[in-house]
Chain A
Amino acid sequence: MSSSTKVRRLARLLEQDTSVVWAINHEDELVFLSAGCSNWLGMAGETLIGRRSKAGTPVSDDPADLVAASLSPPPGLERRGTASLRIQPPIVAGKRPDSKEVRYIRVGPVESGFTLGVAGTFNDRQIEPELQDAVAIRNRLDQWRQRLSGLGSVLLIGNSQAAERLRRRVEVASSLRTHVGFYQPNGGGAELLAMHIHQLSSSAEPFVQVDGPLMDAELLDATLMPLLNRLSDSESTLGTIVCKQLDETAIATQQRLHSLLTSFPGRLRLLAICGSKEEEAATVSKHSSSELDDQKRVCDELEDILDTIQIRCTPLATRVEDLHAIAAALLGRYGIKSKITAERISRPALDALIHYPWPNNFAELEEAIRHASDTATGETVRLEDLPLSIRSYRPPTPQTTKKLRSLDDQVRNYEESLLREAMKNADGNRAEAARQLGISRSRLLRKLQQMPIDDSGTKGEG
């Protein structure tokens, strides 16, 4: 067995005035105090030797016992082996010593070892700048998520059947971690609901927002790359993609998205936002299926996985009975900086909100309330505080309502009238008509074939 080196050199260092060190044996008695330690405590070290220094044990009124007890390590040091504590020794001879940061180290086995207490200034608790930044970013992300999620929860307010249905669906989607398809009219607030569900179901996991229509497959890969790297690095990592306007996303991009989802089954989740199915159905009735294919479509593979849970946001105009509550909740959020309280929406302003058809749904209401909150000077939102488009809106009387035809229909009609006129001018000569219109003859023929037969039983051939 080898012996230790001479202790004299260490003793010399410990004897310096600046070293504040003490030792406690395995029986919790002070066995050593450096000169610096005695100076700090304002009490001779010899007075303290042999006194009990264990946290949580009864102590007499003897000042030396009180001082010895104040040097005791925190409970659990045997298990952890090291501990940090700020120590404030008791007043001795009318003088209160400074408090000091102390590190305790357990040396040797519990039954025969000892504890070393070292007081000083330590920087090991200072966080690395990079870690500090990560914490700051995390805090900001949390704030951002909570802000959006809070707005999403406003959408669930109300007593209407639609609100009730929406709440139930969101509750189910939040209790499971699975793919969710959102179907919403313009500005329906599905992005906020997606954030709300993400916060409730898996707030700790990262998510990436993808603006579907702006992406091709390559850009999608580039956008998702950091998340995919992380998923590849660790089997336990989870991630969520929030894809906006999935139905307006290129099919190749959708297929790429599907292949990524299948590469990380159960770990990569998709919250996809699409146009409302009602709108889609209306479009189907007007146009041929091939035309629709070119406009809005979710590829079959993604449609299958989004069938798991579907959440439909109904147009705000159909939730008239919820409007007051939703507007009040929004005002509660935006009215904080002004004096307005959530309940203070004047009746004329509320009437205007009820009459307005909300073509851009929740997004428009949110914008209107934000505007009102900024504009209002008193404690109540008045009619004049609402945006002009809302306060000046008058519902049309049903008799005079003229339904506007779609842009496509109007363009088609206009084109047909031009074709008819050209055919008439050319006395039915198609080649001449094509020349006049500056198009090829075959193109003219194709267009004429697509034209409906008019009252005279012709297709504009004069």
Chain B
Amino acid sequence: MKDLLPLPNRDDRSLRWWVHESGTRWVNSVRRFHKELLASVSHPIIENASLGTITRNLHSSQPGVFLWEINRKNLVECVDRLSQTLWSNPNHLHLIACDRLNDSQRIALSEFNIACFLDQPEDMIRLKPIFEGYFARIG
């Protein structure tokens, strides 16, 4: 019997996270939950990204997740960058960590292609189907 053709190895996947936040709460949360969410990704690159870094990576073709920590103070600025990012590359996944946003502000943000809103780090567990769907889409 002939040897079976090897199946493609999915363990070499990499994923870049751009986390825009003022502290390290969400970067730490991504580090904490990454393995549970994305067991198939062996090389996560988790970066605490300033708005400047995000702008520089607008056209990145790598699969990537943007996690925006948005509060009332940075809402307008983040919406600007968010729309710019979505316009440049609609294939990235966008998550929003809400810091005391009201319903109107959340509805406004929902008009953009946001995969999920997070209120607390433990909400990240809910993201598993989103990531599975995202990777199924990008192949």
Contact = CB atoms under 8 A, between A and B. Distances in A.
A230 B133 contact: no
Interface stretch (B21-29, B33-41, B49-57, B101-109): B101-109
Q: Which of A136, A211, A226, A229 has the most CB of B within 10 A?
A: A226
A140 B115 contact: no
Nearest to B118: A222
Contact of B129 (A136, A140, A214, A225): A214
Interface of A is mostly: helix
Contact of B117 (A136, A137, A215, A223): A223
A229 B114 CA distance: 18
Nearest to A212: B133
B111 A209 contact: yes
A425 B1 contact: yes
B63 to A, nearest CB: 14
A208 B108 CA distance: 8
B4 A215 contact: no
Interface residues of A, number: 35
Contacts, number: 86
A144 B115 CA distance: 18
A209 B114 contact: yes
Nearest to B75: A133
Interface in A70-120: none
A219 interface: yes
B60 interface: no
Contact of A223 (B83, B108, B110): B110
A222 B103 contact: no
A218 interface: yes
A213 B137 CA distance: 9
Given A216-B129, A218-B126, 6 more contacts: A134-B105, A141-B108, A211-B115, A214-B115, A223-B117, A230-B103
Interface of A: 130, 133-134, 136-138, 140-141, 143-145, 147, 206-209, 211, 213-216, 218-219, 222-223, 225-227, 229-230, 418, 421-422, 425, 436
Interface of B: 1-2, 4, 72, 75-76, 79-80, 83, 87, 103-108, 110-117, 126, 129-130, 133-134, 136-137
Query: Which 5 A-B pairs have CB atoms at the shortest separation, nearest pair first?
Result: A226-B106, A208-B110, A214-B133, A226-B103, A214-B130
10 contacts: A134-B104, A134-B105, A140-B80, A209-B111, A209-B114, A211-B113, A215-B130, A225-B106, A229-B103, A421-B1
